[in-house]
A and B are shown apart, each in its own frame.
Chain A
Amino acid sequence: EPEVTQTPSHQVTQMGQEVILRCVPISNHLYFYWYRQILGQKVEFLVSFYNNEISEKSEIFDDQFSVERPDGSNFTLKIRSTKLEDSAMYFCASSPRTAYEQYFGPGTRLTVT
């Protein structure tokens, strides 16, 4: 069964460094998302992406964040200058048609020290 994959599974970085989190969505899906989950809290929406552009973003997704679909398979989340409070699990999700059926990847645990 096709699944969303994410790399790396765990990323440790120092405050102020740039990180790129990578995702490979399910191949025939058209809508892509990033969510984050701070330890023990609920999953929070960051950004949605469709037709090579951002379709919606939350207030969490400030100028330090960017997304890209550099080729036909990868979908990346970049954090330009990480802060301690960026430490969280970051989940990529993809959907074939609309927001309705979102399939989540296993997540990348980002630890900012």
Chain B
Amino acid sequence: GESVGLHLPTLSVQEGDNSIINCAYSNSASDYFIWYKQESGKGPQFIIDIRSNMDKRQGQRVTVLLNKTVKHLSLQIAATQPGDSAVYFCAETRSGNTPLVFGKGTRLSVIA
């Protein structure tokens, strides 16, 4: 039978195009959000973060947008490259030493 959880949402993009990965977070009290990239067989790798007092933050080729009204987070990757192929997770947490709560993940597949 089919196992729940083995089928991640998948986004396929052409090399050079922009990618947008979305995430709905769960806790309205969360005030810090992180995007992680996970390549096959590796641990999550920090990409970019944003605090709740901001609605946009830019890094190198990546931008994170935060919409607290609808509890939505997005990651934009400009000029997507084959090396960007991975599973992307959003994570949320509250102030203080609280654990990260990860979203379900999206698999990004870059077509060369």
- For residue A101, CB closer than 8 A to chain B, the reply is yes
Residues of A within 8 A of B96 (CB): 98-99
Q: Judge whether A102 is part of the interface by a CB distance below 8 angstroms.
A: yes
Contact stretch, chosen from B2-10, B11-19, B59-67, B70-78: B2-10
**A104 — which chain B residues lie within 8 A by C-beta?**
36, 43-45
Q: Which residues of A contact B91 (CB under 8 A)?
A: 43
CB distance from B92 to the nearest CB of A (A): 10
What's the A-B contact tally at a CB cutoff of 8 Å? 71
Ordered by A's residue number, 10 sampled pairs between the chains whose C-beta atoms are within 8 Å are A42-B105, A43-B100, A91-B44, A93-B43, A98-B95, A99-B32, A99-B99, A99-B100, A106-B41, A106-B42
Given contacts A40-B3, A43-B102, contact A103 B97 (CB under 8 A): no
Residues of chain A touching chain B, judged by Cβ–Cβ distance below 8 Å, are: 4, 31, 33, 35, 38-45, 48, 50, 55-56, 58, 91, 93, 98-107
Q: Give chain B's interface residues, CB within 8 Å of chain A.
A: 3, 5-8, 32, 34, 36, 41-46, 49, 89, 91, 93, 95-105
Instruction: Flag if A42 contacts B104 (CB, 8 Å).
Output: yes
Taking CB atoms, residues of chain A closer than 8 Å to B95 are 98
Q: Which of A40, A56, A91, A105 sits near B99, CB closer than 8 Å? A: A56
Find B102's partner among A4, A42, A58 (CB 8 Å cutoff). Answer: A42
Q: Do A45 and B43 touch (CB < 8 A)?
A: no
State how many angstroms separate the Cβ of A24 from the closest Cβ of chain B: 14
Given A48-B97, A100-B49, A107:B104 Cβ within 8 A? no
Q: Whole-angstrom distance between the alpha carbons of A63 and B46 in the complex?
A: 31
- For B46, the chain A residues whose CB sits under 8 A away are 101-103
Select from chain A the residue with minimum beta-carbon distance to B51.
A100
